[in-house]
Amino acid sequence: MAKTMYEKIWDAHFVHQEPGQAALLYIDRHLMHEVTSPQAFEGLNIAKRSIRNKHSILATLDHCVPTKLADRINLPDPIGAKQVATMINNCEQHGLTLYDMESKNNGVIHVVVPEHGFVHPGMTTVCGDSHTATHGAFGALAFGIGTSEVEHVMATQCLPQAKSKTMLVKVDGTLSKYSTAKDIALAIIGRIGTAGGNGFVIEYAGSAIDALTMEGRMTLCNMAIESGARAGLVAPDQKTYDFLEGKEFAPKGDAWDQALSYWKTLPSDDGAEYDLVIELNAADIAPQVTWGTSPEQVVPVNQTVPAPNDFEQEGKQIACKSALDYMDLDAGTKMTDIEIDFVFLGSCTNSRIEDFRAAAEVAKGTKVPANVTAIAVPGSYMVKEQAEQEGLDKIFTDAGWEWREPGCSMCLAMNGDQLKPGQRCASTSNRNFEGRQGKGGRTHLVSPAMAAAAAAAGRFVDIRELEQN
Amino acid sequence: MEKYTKHTSVAALMNRSNVDTDQIIAKQFLKKVERTGFGIHLFHDWRYLDDDGTIANPDFELNKPEFKGARILVTGDNFGCGSSREHAPWAIDDYGFNTIISTSFADIFYNNCFKNGILPIVVDADTLKKLMSEIDANEGVEFTVDLENQAVTTPAGTSVSFEIDGFRKHNLLNGLDDIGLTLKQADKIDTYESKHKEKFPWLWAS
Ligand code: SF4
């Protein structure tokens, strides 16, 4: 029978199922950071259990690390400092690989893992962070888990799992040069809603997805979770193999050939059936901006803020009304008339080298207005170094941006980088929930180029017009 | 996880309904790196008069000396509603309770109890009233909980039988948490892993 990629990966990792219980799925890779792991280690120690497969684990410090160099030496927040110290201690005690703050490999977990080729096509991958779906870009089944599951995987290398339904999101056609993977991601969420993917694993396919770079595919899969899906997947192809080849944890020599021939069996078979198929035309996808407090509250940048009456369902009308209140926006306002106070270029959604190149291209020769703060936070030291070699840091600092050290930073505002109440931010991250970037802060999600354009103008800009002038 | 054995313990009465997980463990305590030590923060806003939790509120039920050392909590409808935080059962367990008796529990909380060795017992409204009045009349009274025979008995001669899913009962009696259950399949995991290693040797190279 023709199988989807998800079904192939599932079958290859199915260990056992007791009657009346969930199936046990084997986990190949376990990614860790300082915030969701400490209680899992403690639980393990209390129960006198050990880690089954240390090689499966790669850890970093990212969620609460400061992005100002001086603060990284003496962490100003005692809670963050404790989380960092606990992580270092746990990794030492259990002999795990940790990219600590001094490591040149340090950075946001979902950025550093691909940089070192730690996740391969066909692998099952988990992490106590919901944006683990990022690694679906490599054709790996990757999803976020809770703290008790982190402990479960450490002790057993397995997780009890229910099988998901499958959804194919097919994006054909050619994306305009102003639109990016981020805009595809937001357009999909705008179409199916943040609950549209509940119970599903999404496979992204079609000519527009084939055309994306690996970085673009990571951005797309990263946002799968925002549509409610358990995971997002893109079939591996030559780009995937080229990206992985030669990386630290990629197979070498004969193993590479063996791996490659296996990876080539992974894409969904012709005629494989999905529980749901959604189709989009890439040519229709304009640069997107969210206006509300949920990623589904999104419009193309050349449109206006909607009114509650624009929605059919009562629930969405209520959500619209409360979002407008929180965001302090009036229905009918042109998106390009909305002024901003802050710009955040970063997060595991958009902090790879390609994102900085795209933003730098727009930022070049511009000036951030005095009333706007713009920060550029590379996803990792490798990205930072590469950007500096290319002189991108200069472009940003000349334009009045702050050039920071890597970390999650204002994606979740746990490290001290945050909005003040009422401040409005153009952000390349993944969640625009109330208070996500600081209590009372207002977040608009955009692509890196759109963020850079907003930084220069102090308001949202339709970058398609910018270049024509 | 400890095995749940038959025990006779003080039953504390907290006659409140819809106690949510925010009240069980307030969000300012979630940033800890430990999973133990949440017991002192249990019901913080009710239990203490000050923010730092140094002055006990004499009016709060559980602060009564008669309820000291209680392992059984008898409480109102819909206990454990609100956010799904795992810290709520951690706090209850750490405080010392291993049994909660009510007419109903929120779903996720109910499930989380079993993961932490806590037995949530559902009784009908009349039974709950009866148990509550027995505690009221004799604060510090001890109830006996016998999970094996699915019964709660009191010195006043009341005997209440309760329902529980057979699989969950088995796990509590044997001290099996989710991880313990998976580890029972260790031989299957071993077999799978060695096949997996043969098929994908590069996964183990580093
Ligand atoms: S950047 Fe944001 S989404 Fe990504 S790992 Fe950090 S906190 Fe999670």
pLDDT, tens digit, 9 for 90 and up, residues A365-393: 999 999 999 999 999 999 999 999 999 99
A238-280 tens-digit pLDDT? 999 999 999 999 999 999 999 999 999 999 999 999 999 999 9
- DSSP for B37-62 reads --GGGTTHHHHBSSTTS-SB-TTSGG
Q: Which residue of A has its CA nearest to B191?
A: A15
Contacts of A389 (CB under 8 A, 6+ apart): none
Shortest distance, CA B152 to any CA of chain A (angstroms)? 28
Residue by residue, DSSP assigns B97-122 as --EEEES-B-HHHHHHHHHTT-EEEE
**Separation CA B96–CA B89 (nearest Å):** 11
Which secondary-structure segment (H or E) carries A442? strand A442-445
Residue with token string 């703290």: A147
Q: Quote the pTM value.
A: 0.88
Q: From CA B71, how far away is CA A160, in angstroms rounded?
A: 31
Spell out a b/e string for A269-299, using b for 16 or more CB atoms within 10 Å of the CB, else e. Answer: eeebebeeebebebeebbbbbbbbbbbbbbb
pLDDT band at B51 (very low <50, low <70, confident <90, very high): confident
Q: Which residues contact B202 (CB under 8 A, 6 or more apart)?
A: A120, A251, A255, A256, A258, A259
Residues B189/B195/B200/B204 CA torsion (nearest 10 deg): 50
With residue A46 as reference, give the H or E element that holds it.
helix A38-46
Backbone Cα Rg of chain A: 21
Percent of chain B whose predicted confidence (pLDDT) is above 90: 72
Pairing type for strands A57-60 and A97-99 reads parallel
Residues, chain B, total?
A: 206
pLDDT tens, residue by residue, B56-89? 999 999 999 999 999 999 999 989 987 667 889 9
Percent of the residues in chain A that have a pLDDT greater than 70, as a whole number: 99
- Residue B95's nearest CA partner among B16, B170, B151, B12 is B12
pLDDT for B26 equals 84
Q: Give the list of residues 6+ apart from residue A30 with CB closer than 8 angstroms, or none.
A: A56, A57, A58, A125, A126, A127, A150, A153, A154
Give the pLDDT score at A154: 98
Q: Which residue has the tokens 């070699």?
A: A389
Q: Is the pLDDT of residue B95 over 50?
A: yes
Q: Give the number of residues written for chain A.
A: 469
ipTM of the complex model:
0.91
Tokens of A163: 């099988």
Among A130-144, A218-232, B16-30, the least confident range:
B16-30
pLDDT of residue B206: 54
The reply to whether ligand 1 has any atom less than 6 angstroms from the CB of A135 is no
The superfamily in CATH containing domain B7-175 is Aconitase, domain 4 (3.20.19.10)
Give DSSP secondary structure letters for A178-216. Answer: T--HHHHHHHHHHHH-TTTTTTEEEEEESHHHHTS-HHH
Query: What is the rounded average pLDDT for all residues in chain B?
Result: 92
In this predicted model, what pLDDT tens digit does every residue of A284-324 receive, in sequence order?
Answer: 999 999 999 999 999 999 999 999 999 998 889 999 999 99
Q: From ligand 1's centre to the CA of A334, what distance in Å?
A: 30
Shortest CB distance from A147 goes to which of B86, B185, B192? Answer: B86
Summarised one tens digit per residue, pLDDT across range A47-83 is 899 999 999 999 999 998 999 998 998 899 888 899 9
What amino acid is encoded at A366 in this protein? T
Mean pLDDT for the stretch of residues B98-108: 91
- Indicate the domain borders of chain B: 7-175, 176-206
**Tokens at B13, concatenated:** 């009465």
The mean of the pLDDT values for chain A is 95
Q: Is A127 in the pocket of ligand 1 (CB under 6 A)?
A: no
Q: What is the DSSP string of A15-32?
A: EEE-TTSPEEEE--EEEE
Cα–Cα distance measured from residue A216 to residue A63, given in angstroms and rounded to the nearest whole number: 23
Q: Do B205 and A255 touch (CB under 8 A)?
A: yes
Give distance in angstroms: CA of A348 to centre of ligand 1. Answer: 6
Report CB contact under 8 Å: A15, B179.
no
Q: Is residue B205 over pLDDT 80?
A: no
Phi, psi of A183 (to 5 degrees): -70, -35
CB contact under 8 A, B189 and A42: no
* Angle, alpha carbons A317-A318-A322 (nearest 5°): 120
Q: What's the rounded Cα separation, in Å, for the pair B144 and A283?
A: 70
Residue A404 confidence (pLDDT): 97
Interchain CB contacts (distance < 8 Å): A and B: 84
Convert the pLDDT of each residue in A156-185 to its tens digit.
999 999 899 999 999 999 999 999 999 999
Cβ neighbours of A160 in B, within 8 Å = 178, 182
pLDDT at A469: 45
- Say whether residue B185 is in contact with chain A using an 8 A CB cutoff: yes
Nearest to A15 among B115, B177, B192 (CB): B192
Average the pLDDT over A18-29 and give the result. Answer: 92
CB atoms within 10 A of CB A353: 22
Cβ separation A39–B183 shorter than 8 A: no
A184 close to ligand 1 (CB < 6 Angstrom): no
Q: Given a cut of 60, is residue A224 above it in pLDDT?
A: yes
Evaluate if residue A363 carries a pLDDT over 90: yes
Phi, psi of A190 (to 5 degrees): -60, -35
Which pLDDT score, from 0 to 100, does residue B83 have?
67
Min Cα–Cα distance to chain A from B170, Å? 14
